[in-house]
Structure 1
Amino acid sequence: MKKLDYRNQALKLFPWVCGKCGRDFSGKNLRELTVHHKDHNYRNNPPDGSNWELLCIYCHDNEHSRNLDAEWLPSLDSETENTVTTTHSPFKNLNTLVQGGEKKKKE
């Protein structure tokens, strides 16, 4: 099924509403409504539309950028779970400061 074919089919099957933000589409702004493949395989185009959802261009871009970001983020596993990833600890001396303030109040 060609790209245009599955878009037209999706527009016939689903209401013209973004599946993420709920924005309605009609007329000229209908071109901003895109077909997103839920499994991210653009070749998987079942005629019942079970692998599609309509998303506005903004939500569609967000959906794909989240997946790209996830590829670059380290995964949590036993090796990285206990690894310190930050170098700054803004509350490191807070307990000392609080205890110092309480000592002054007692004096």
Structure 2
Amino acid sequence: MAETHENRRKREMGYREQALKMYPWICGRCQREFDHRNLRELTVHHKDHDHDNNPSDGSNWELLCLYCHDNEHQRLEEAYNYGTKNTDGKPVEATFNPFADLAKMMKK
């Protein structure tokens, strides 16, 4: 078990180091800026949620702060638990419009 954790840590360090060299140290969601003092709070998020998909061009990565990263994974988990996701894992967009017949309702 310890070996598995060590291998995972090494793999993460590899793509994390690459991403930190490639991208500015700014959260991709909230735009918070980071420097050497707080860099540990900046994480690498896999856009497709596949931690083994690490293309060398960084196209599957985005830098997110701890808070935005947790929020992203929470949204995915909620979509999974409540069945509100497409086959690609993205949340289903709302299609119901409660104001679609507003003009007709206002005439009554």
Rg larger in structure: 1
Find the aligned partners of 1:27 and 1:5 in 2 and give their Cα distance: 18
TM-score normalized by the length of structure 2: 0.67
Amino acid of the structure 1 residue aligned with 2:19? A
Among 40, 49, 69, the residue aligned to 1:40: 49
Find the aligned partners of 1:6 and 1:21 in 2 and give their Cα distance: 22
Q: 1:15 to 1:2 in 2, by over 3 A?
A: same
Tell me the secondary structure at the aligned position of residue 37 of structure 2.
helix
Among 71, 84, 95, the residue aligned to 1:62: 71
Find the aligned partners of 2:32 and 2:57 in 1 and give their Cα distance: 23
Find the aligned partners of 1:66 and 1:36 in 2 and give their Cα distance: 14
Residue 50 in structure 1 maps to residue 80 in structure 2: no
Find the aligned partners of 2:18 and 2:35 in 1 and give their Cα distance: 16
Find the aligned partners of 2:70 and 2:42 in 1 and give their Cα distance: 12
Percent sequence identity over matched residues? 61
TM-score normalized by the length of structure 1: 0.67
Structure 2 spans left out of the alignment, 5+ residues: 1-9, 86-108
Structure 1 spans left out of the alignment, 5+ residues: 77-107
Aligned to 2:6: none
Q: What count of residue pairs does the alignment treat as equivalent?
A: 76
Which protein, 1 or 2, shows the higher relative CO under an 8 Å CA cutoff with sep ≥ 6? 1
Structure 1 residue ranges (4+ consecutive) displaced by more than 3 angstroms after TM superposition = none
Amino acid of the structure 1 residue aligned with 2:14? D
Find the aligned partners of 1:18 and 1:10 in 2 and give their Cα distance: 12
Residue 14 in structure 1 maps to residue 10 in structure 2: no
